[in-house]
Amino acid sequence: MHVVVLGGGFGGVAVVRRLERLVRRRPDVRITLVSRENFTLLTPLLFEACSGRLELRHCAQPIRAVLRRARFIEASVDTVDVERRIVRATASDGTPHDVPYHQLVVALGGSTNERLIPGSTHALTFKTVADALLLRNHLIAQFERADAAADQDARRGCLRVVVIGGGLVGVELIGELTAFADDVLRFYPRLRRDEIAFHLFEAGPRILPEIDASLADTAARVLRGRGVDIQAGTAVREVAPGRIRLESGALEAGTVVLTAGIVPNAVAAAVPVARDGRGRIAVDATMRSRSHADIWALGDCASIPDRDGKPYPALAQHAVREARHLARNLAAVADGRPPTAFVFRSLGSMAALGHTQAVARVFGVRLTGIVAWWLRRTYYLFQMPRWDRRLRIVLDWTVALFFRPDITRVDLRSEREQTRADSADRPRADVRPVAVAQGR
């Protein structure tokens, strides 16, 4: 039996790792993982990677380091031919890969929903390592621009940050950005804290719908205490370069980040199998496709019914639990046993707010402040599968505790362009030949 898993995120890698163990005495079961990047991104650590508290690479785990016997193919999945049971993928150098399968697991995740608000492509997004690097560079550039600006209006324009979407990602992001701004301000003596404005817009009735209302209220209080303007029940109508439009008028902003929900990954949405109204792959409680018995799906691209028939939320803690159960079901299929239903009750929820603050409910216990913050950090630290990565993260956190923040803006693209421009064969008015003296 050949099991092919698509997507090396939380769900895909957890399926492969658990299945490797379950079928370790079954050499006839082959496992192949296909993913676009050669690492798994630990998204809950992405906020601190953006602010520089954590080295960017350290919030990712190289996939090959955690695999035992599965084959890994670094390639972008293009299509799935469900009739011939072949996955077609392309490596970054253009090399095509046709991967035949007996059982296929789709764990391709989701992407930021850019269809909800017109002009969304003008906003920054926050989902990938590249997003974190771009946002970090953009924010530092805005500080530099504000520092050089002649008048206060221009300064305020550069220093206005808008986050669209008050779910877990939007709230955690704005919390970390307030902390980032407070930390880096010491490098910009011309700028005042009250010139930096943070706005969080949420179309729904309250922020943090993923966690209970009392914790969401606490989070809102903490953020408002740092000057964040939180507007729930306020839909952003349009995004334009450097500006958003609300029902009440336009708002200029140097930084606009879109975190207003996700849609299933485009390739997963194009696999010709049954799907739900939101385009996610529709599976039964065993995570098997409702239309194709040899296709399974989990995580953000799947609609897995809970006991009440409602889909499980798109969260990492669910994706990992789903993955372990799905691996057991694949092992059962290999043994000729029937798969079983996935049932999971969340252990709790946590949201970091920056500045050693967080809110959490774990096993029904409500936690806030530094205790919740420490618990969240420790929990996600141990989600990193290997000790070498964990140690690097702890070192980064320790350094960040004692030293000033790093405001180096490494922009590989512009550096390369600059180097090319400098070395280009063109007349340079400002460079005159200089006679070099020979001897004394």
Ligand X SMILES: Cc1cc2nc3c(=O)[nH]c(=O)nc-3n(C[C@H](O)[C@H](O)[C@H](O)COP(=O)(O)OP(=O)(O)OC[C@H]3O[C@@H](n4cnc5c(N)ncnc54)[C@H](O)[C@@H]3O)c2cc1C
For ligand X, the closer CB: 124 or 251: 124
Q: How far apart, in Å, are the Cα atoms of 409 and each of 51, 329, 399?
A: 11, 47, 19
Pick 16 or 168: Cβ nearer ligand X: 168
Give kind and range of the element (H or E) at residue 259.
Answer: none
Q: Which is nearer to ligand X, 106 or 230 (CB)?
A: 106
CB 314 within 8 A of CB 302: no
Nearer to ligand X, 46 or 223 (CB): 46
Residues 132 and 157: their CA atoms lie apart, in Å, by 22
User: How far is 357 from 147, CA to CA, in rounded Å?
Assistant: 29
Per the rule left: phi > 0, alpha: psi between -120 and 50, beta: everything else, 108 is alpha
> Which CB, 63 or 146, lies closer to ligand X?
63
Burial grade of 385 (CB within 10 A; 0-12, 13-18, 19 or more): middle
CB of 19 to ligand X, least distance (A): 15
Our CB check for ligand X shows the closer of 234 and 317 to be: 317
The phi and psi torsions of 402 (rounded to 5 degrees) equal -105, -15
Query: Which run of H or of E encompasses 368?
Result: strand 365-368
User: Minimum Å distance from CB 380 to ligand X?
Assistant: 7
DSSP 127-169: SSHHHHHHHHHHHHHHHHHHHH-SSHHHHHHHTEEEEE--SHH
Number of C-beta neighbours around residue 299 at 10 A: 35
Smallest separation (angstroms) from ligand X to the CB of 250: 28
Cβ-count burial 19-36 (b if 16+ within 10 Å, e if not): bbebbeeeeebbbbbbbb
Phi, psi at 229, each rounded to 5°: -90, 110
For 36-61, the DSSP string reads SSSEEE-GGGHHHHHHTSS-GGGGEE
Tokens describing residue 421: 């421009």
For residue 264, the cross-strand partners are 110
Tell me whether residue 113 or residue 146 sits nearer to ligand X (CB atom). 113
Q: How far is the CB of 334 from ligand X (least distance, A)?
A: 22
Q: Tell the residue number behind the tokens 């957890």, with chain if given.
A: 14
CB of 55 to ligand X, least distance (A): 17
> Quick one: 145 or 390, whose CB is closer to ligand X?
390
Q: How far is the CB of 149 from ligand X (least distance, A)?
A: 30
- The residue among 109 and 157 lying less far from ligand X, judged by its C-beta, is 109
Residue 62 beta carbon to ligand X: minimum distance, rounded to whole angstroms: 12
CA distance 406 to 439: 46
Structure tokens at 412: 């590989």
Residue 17 C-beta: closest distance to ligand X, Å: 13
- Residues at the interface with ligand X (CB under 6 A): 7-12, 34-37, 43-44, 46, 76-77, 107-109, 126-127, 168-169, 265, 267, 299-301, 314-317, 319
Q: Please say whether the beta carbons of 36 and 91 come within 8 A.
A: no
The nearest distance, CB 54 to ligand X, in angstroms, is 13
Least CB distance from residue 108 to ligand X, whole Å? Answer: 4
Closest CB to ligand X among residues 44, 52: 44
Phi and psi at 407, nearest 5°, equal -110, 25
- Asked if 108 and 268 count as a contact pair (C-beta separation under 8 A), the reply is yes
State the minimum distance, in angstroms, from the CB of residue 299 to ligand X.
2
CA–CA gap between residue 188 and residue 405 (Å, rounded) = 13
By beta carbon distance, the residue nearest ligand X is 9
E strand or H helix at 369: helix 369-381
- Which residue lies nearer to ligand X by CB, 220 or 268? 268
